[in-house]
Amino acid sequence: MIATLRQIIYKAREILKTEGLVSLLGRGIRFLVKPLFEYRVVYLYENTLEDFRNLKEIDFKPKVDNFTLKIISTNQEADRFESEGFEFRLRAENGQQLLDKGAIAFCIFVGRELANIGWIRMTEEARDTSNKMKVDYQNNEVQGGFAWTNPKYRRLGFQRYGAFERHRFAFSRGITTYRTYIDKSNIASQVATSKVFRKYGEGRHLKIAWWRFWKEKTLS
């Protein structure tokens, strides 16, 4: 409970600092309404090892000095990194639980400031419960998600590079298909990942109180 409250306060401060009071109030209203009603339209993306073979790291690496990539798979590793000043779990909603369930965090820092974070949900237990996107974990498929870039470091290529590194990690461990989704309205993320992912479908998620409805279709 305390960790969740700290995350809310942290996010509120970040939104106020980077986007202003109007945006903070708007997000606050959506935060209150979300437990009762939510409707989202998302694009579904995938990539396979064969798709990835043709990609080169040099085409994705940001031209920024002094950045480091930290791959974090346990809360013990997270504790160690954060004790060294590489803090990220306040930015990651349910980050501690995700690590316990088998998800892996990919964090890019400039100095010790978090510039970008993205996740791979490697297990069925860690899957995204906000929708019912089809991911066959038993057949070596995984789901990516929860990617975020610090407003201070946007448009510098960190999102694309993070996506590249998550794919490289997954495919090096025998994964056959990497799936993710992006909100239809999030044009920036769609552009950032267009060179890594292939769009294959559309999903619609409706939540009314405790009822959830999900419809998925393949794009022609």
- pLDDT range class, residue 2, cuts 50, 70, 90: very low
Mean pLDDT of 174-198: 86
Instruction: Name the residue ranges covered by the structural domains of the chain.
Output: 1-33, 34-218
> Of the given ranges (23-32, 106-115, 166-175), which has the lowest mean pLDDT?
23-32
Q: Is the pLDDT of residue 80 over 60?
A: yes
Report d(CA 100, CA 94) in Å as an integer: 10
pLDDT in tens, 123-145: 999 988 777 889 999 999 999 97
Gap between the Cα atoms of 16 and 34, Å rounded: 20
The answer to whether the beta carbons of residues 144 and 163 sit under 8 Å apart is yes
Tell me which CATH homologous superfamily contains domain 34-218: Gcn5-related N-acetyltransferase (GNAT) (3.40.630.30)
DSSP conformational letter for 45: E
Residue among 105, 101, 100, 71 nearest 89 (CA): 105
Dist CA 217 CA 145 (whole Å):
20
Report residue 13: phi and psi, to 5°. -65, -40
Distance, in Å, from the CA atom of 156 to the CA atom of 60, rounded to the nearest integer, reads 10
Dist. CA 198–CA 29, nearest whole Å: 34
Beta strands in 122-191 (DSSP E): 141-149, 177-183
49-53, 105-109, 116-120: which has the minimum mean pLDDT? Answer: 49-53
Q: At what angle do helices 2-19 and 21-33 cross, to 10 degrees?
A: 140
User: In whole angstroms, what is the distance from residue 117 CA to residue 107 CA?
Assistant: 4
**pTM here?**
0.79
Tokens of 68: 């480091």
Q: Please list, in sequence order, all residues whose beta carbon lies within 8 angstroms of the beta carbon of residue 210, skipping any fewer than 6 positions away.
A: none
